[in-house]
Structure formats: C-alpha cells, structure tokens
Amino acid sequence: MMHTFLQTTQKWWSVPINRQVTWILAAGLFLRTIFAFWLQPGFDEAYYYLYTQYPDWSFFDHPPLVAITTAIGLWFSGETVSQFTIRIGSLLLYTGTLYLLYRAGRRLFGFRVGLLALILASIVPIFQVAFGTMTLPDVPLMFFWTATLWGASEEFFPLDGQRYRPTYRLAILGLLVGLACISKYHGFLLGAGLVGFCLTSREHRRALYSPWALASFVAFFATLYPVLVWNAQHDWISFTFQAGRSVPAKGYSLGKLFGLVLQEVGYLFPTIGIPLWWVSLRVLVAQSLSPFVRRIRDTHQDIRIKQRLVLWLSAPVFLLFTLIGGYRSVLPTWAMPGFFIATILLAQKVAVWQIPSPKLIRRWLLGSAIAVNLLLLLALSHVAAGTLQTPSNTALFGGFIPAQGDASVQLVDIAQLRQGFAQQPQLMQALQRSDFVFSNRFHLSGHIAMALKPLRSLPVTCFDKRDMRGFAFWSQATDWLGKTGLYLTSNEYQSQEDSAAEYIPYFRSLKKVGEVPLYRGGVVVDRFHVFLAQEQIKPFPRPREGSKGA
C-alpha cells in the first residue's frame, strides 16, 4: 500500500507546469505583492496579528489557522511587524491555491479548462484582495478547499476509465476538510458537499461505506479535535458566536437579496460576475432536471458527474450566504468560496465559446484583466497616497473625495503612528512608564499593537463594554489592577465624545499626554489621542459574551 501511495504521489507531481501557467502565477504574485506592500492593514488583519501574540488551540471568533498564516511572514522576517510581513503567508498560499485550481480544472475537464479557470480566478478583484493579499481566515480556507477539490477529482475519477473503487485518498480528503474547518467554519459546508456528491452519484455512493470512509472521519475529527476541546472549555463560545451572526431578523426582503446579488457581481467584477452567476445557475438547473430527462447521451454522463462534484463544492456556499442576505447584512467574503470553485464551470463554458470566437474571448479576458488591475491600482494609490482626495498634494485633477467623508482614512498607517510616537519625547516617556496599552475598539488595539511593538513590547488589550472579541480570553479583568496603562484611540472614536471620560472611574488619574497626526497627501486625515492612565483601581466591566474570560 505504501509503495502504491508513493507511486501515485509521484505521478500527481510529475505533470510539467505549462509555461503559460508559470507566467500567470508569477504576474499575479507580483501584482498582489505591490498591494500587500502599500495597502495599510485592515481592521480584521490588525486584529489577527494579535492572534500571533496569544497563540492558542482556537480563538473566540475563528479557528487557529489564520494565526499561523499571519505568523508565516513574521517568522521569515524575524518578527518585523508591517502590513507586508503579516501578508507574506497569504501571498504564498494563494499562489498555491491558484495552482491547485488549475490542476483540479485540468484533471476534470482538460488543460484548456484548467488554464481558463486559472485566468478567471486571477482576474476577479475580490479573489485577489481577500484570498490573495490580505491576511484573513479565507486564505487557508481556500487553499485547503481547492486542495480538497483536486484530491476529490483524483479519487472519484480514475484515469484508467475503470469502475470507481474507494482508495486511501478518502482519508486524505478527511484531513483536508478538517484543515479547511480549522481555517474557517465554512469548511463544514465543504464536508457536507462531499457527502452530498457521494449520495447523489450512484457510482460513488460506495465511498460512504468503505473502510477508507472510516479513516476519513478519523482524520477529520483528529484535525478538528483541538478546536472542539477549546470550545468545550469555553462553553462553545466560538460556535455560538458564529451561529448568532446568521440569526434571522424580522422578515425577509427580496430587495435586500437583489441588492446583495448586485454587490456580489460588483465584487466579482461585472464582466466575470454576470457570466459566472449565469453559468452556475444554468448547470445547477440542468443537474436538477437530469433525472427527469430521458435519452441523455452516454457521452455526456462523465461530464455531468464531474460538474456535479464542482457544484456540490460550490453552490451550497454561494446560494446559502446569498439567501441569508435577504434578512441580514452579509460580509462580501462569505459567499466567495463558492464562486471561486464555480470558476471551473465558467471556464468549461468559455472553452466551448472559445472554439468559434477565440479573438473575442481573448479580448474579453485581457480587457477584464487590464480594467480590474487598473482600478485596483487606482484604489491603492488613493488609499495609500490620497490621489483622489481633496485636498491633497498628490491629488489627480484636484481630487474628488473630501477627506472628512472618506472611509478609507480609517485604515491606520502604522508606520506613521510608530514614527509619530518615536519623534515625541513625552509620548515615549509615557510608553516607558506604562505596564500595558489599551484602546476602546478591538481592531484599533490591533493597529496600536503593530505600531508600538518595535518601540516597546507591552501587552495590549481592549476596554469596551460592547465587544471585546478575543481580548476577553487573552487576559483576566483583574490582570491590570494596580498597573499603569497607556490609552490610545483615533479621532473618530474620540471626537464623537470624550471617550477617555469613560475610564476615569477605573484609574487613580488619567491625563492626556499628546497626539499623533496621520497624514495622507500632505494633509492630516486622522489623529491618535494618547492618555496616561495611572494605577487601575478597579476592573473594567466586560460584555456578557466575554464573561468566561473574565
């Protein structure tokens, strides 16, 4: 058995990489590296950086693999903290994800489809940013999701054309699904999709009652075990938190549903999103009606079964989270794993369209790629340098977006914040006198931790009665008694009201020691207010969901 395993593994990797594939992967990595270097860390990214500072088997709002993905670049760079270093893992993993998508498409439908799937996935802007640049739980999720699709294509469709017989690959699939689940809880839909495919395919149903299926379940639960143990020790808080985010509101709105579909088309880019939706739904309807259609040609049977596998690993995700959008707000990345896998279905259709109209397809793909990347580079130039901002020293045509009403200024330039601290002696003195640092928003605490880490390594926490996220589990409420804290908050959370006043009853004294202005395009777009809170005299109250960590 081991000899067979080694031979098969060698065969999997013996297929030479086409030069076109290499160039596409390299070009995509180059562009995403530019985005990763210049784009300030997002709210979630800064928060996930703190996962690396408090390693555990799992976390309040996500499983653990996002911490490992974020830590990869820190390991490579020797703990140098920047938006680029925390994204190195994402850059590398997504390159692997794209290659696995190509291999899966090629294995199922041939080289042309694999190549087209790679091109399509490399164009879509939400894939480039959310899966390939930013450090998010979706990054390892999509790597293991796509690896599962590739492994399933190898397992369920033997090249020799013989009748399907379950093999050791089922155990590997269980391991991969488990790794997807400890990346993000979407992975449970991946496992359900694999079971659904086997149940609806007469030939592959035997996989469910083979000895290898038992090995698959053992591998799955062994991988998931640390997350289950952590949740069991914390009243299943991570599962209940995520489940609560899908609780229906009062009534269902078709208008909200339609609006979400339009948003998804925009995230996918209309020239890709519209045909992707159309092809996916068309294949889904055809698969649903196939049991009732007589005299289907046998030559199409193999293709239909392969399409069914892709559908089961994609449609449940994008349909479920799109439908949820009819009664509550949905984050843009929730449905995207399904659309990512469904690019193979679109690629299969494009391969057919390409035969009579190769020039038209080439212009469509090239035009979409140019338009998407120009728009992404323009957006990056604005976020990083204020090229569309007014006023701004770097504005194009005088700028168009007032700095005050621009949400992008909320992305914190941690390098400026760090430099501003280092250049003000009174702030450095306050930092040296402090035992810990805190803010009034969990994501701001992440930005502050990234900025201050090279100046002085102090524990960072969040004092927020509404939402503390993982901070409720990374420390006890009494840990800071008798200690001096440094309180930082941005202009947005300080100008609405005197946020520091909330903390006065909990410290012996609290006074402002300075501000750090943040510039973009030569104009101040934000300020960080700094307060020294001397000797905490009573614990700051915590929200209900964090009570077990108090």
| Cα–Cα dist 203/156, whole Å | 9
pLDDT band with cut points at 50, 70 and 90 for residue 19: confident
Instruction: Please give the Cα distance from 285 to 307 (Å, whole number).
Output: 12
Tens of pLDDT along 121-142? 999 999 999 999 999 999 999 9
The mean pLDDT value for 55-84 works out to 92
Summarised one tens digit per residue, pLDDT across range 276-304 is: 999 999 999 988 876 544 444 455 678 99
Q: What would the pLDDT profile of 82-119 be if each residue is shown by its tens digit?
A: 999 999 999 999 999 999 999 999 999 999 999 999 99
Average per-residue pLDDT for the chain: 90
* 3-class SS of residue 411: coil
| Residue 498 confidence (pLDDT) | 80
pLDDT given at position 6: 39
**Confidence band for 241, pLDDT divided at 50, 70 and 90:** confident
Task: Identify whether the C-beta of residue 46 lies closer than 8 Å to the C-beta of residue 446.
Answer: yes
Show the beta-strand stretches assigned E in 27-120: none
| Gap between the Cα atoms of 527 and 515, Å rounded | 6
Q: Residue 206 gets which letter from DSSP?
A: G
The sign one gets for the Cα dihedral 494, 497, 499, 500 is positive
In angstroms, rounded to a whole number, what is the distance separating the alpha carbons of residues 174 and 50?
Answer: 30
Query: pLDDT value at position 249?
Result: 59
CA distance 394 to 389: 8
pTM, to two decimals: 0.92
Residues 207, 215: Cα–Cα separation, whole Å: 11
Q: Which residues pair with 461 in a beta bridge?
A: 438
Using one digit for the tens of pLDDT, what is the confidence trace for 144-190? 999 999 999 999 998 877 889 999 999 999 999 999 999 999 999 99
* Euclidean distance between CA atoms 385 and 533, whole angstroms: 34
Residue range 513-533: average pLDDT?
A: 94
- Block residue for tokens 């989270």: 321
C-alpha distance from residue 29 to each of 92, 133, 246 (Å):
8, 9, 34
Question: pLDDT tens-digit profile of 88-98?
Answer: 999 999 999 99
The predicted pLDDT at position 329 comes to 83
Report percent pLDDT > 70 for the chain: 92
Q: Which pLDDT value is given to residue 266?
A: 95
For residue 234, give the 3-state DSSP assignment: coil
Q: At residue 417, does pLDDT exceed 80?
A: yes
pLDDT, position 326: 86
| pLDDT higher than 70, residue 15 | no
Percentage of residues in the chain having pLDDT higher than 90: 77
Half-sphere exposure of 255 (CA within 13 A, CB side): 1
Let me know: does 418 contact 82? Beta carbons within 8 Å: no
Structure-model confidence comparison of residues 247 and 412, the more confident one: 412
